Amino acid sequence: MRITCPHCDERAITRTSRRPLPVFYEVFAQCTNPHCSWSGKLQVEFVTTTNPSRTPRDDIKIPVEPASRRALIEQLTPTQS
């Protein structure tokens, strides 16, 4: 994932990150443009599933997006001939 500065659109680099939850990251970034020098925190969250895990964890609940849910149900529903 390429991160760009919200002010000058130059590349921003990750200085550090932490993962307080299995589905959530806090990323501390800094702009590489010396004339800007913005720094801040980004939040990255896993919000939907497009393809279910083959090794799911019981404690992780990431909803399946509607289009993927329909496709999965179609694959699991027997067709009538």
Q: For 38-68, what is the HEC assignment?
A: CEEEEEEECCCECCCCCCCCCCCCCCECHHH
Domain assignment present for residue 3? The answer is no
Domain assignment present for residue 81? The answer is no
CA distance 47 to 62: 6
Domain assignment present for residue 24? The answer is yes
> Do the beta carbons of residue 5 and residue 22 sit within 8 Å?
no
Domain assignment present for residue 2? The answer is no
Asked whether residue 4 carries a pLDDT value surpassing 80, the answer given is: yes
Intra-chain end-to-end CA distance of the chain, in Å:
46
Whole-prediction pTM: 0.70
Query: Strand, helix or coil at 75?
Result: helix
Q: How many domains, in total, are found in the chain? A: 1
For residues 69 and 52, the model is more confident at 52
Segments forming the whole domain that contains residue 42: 12-76
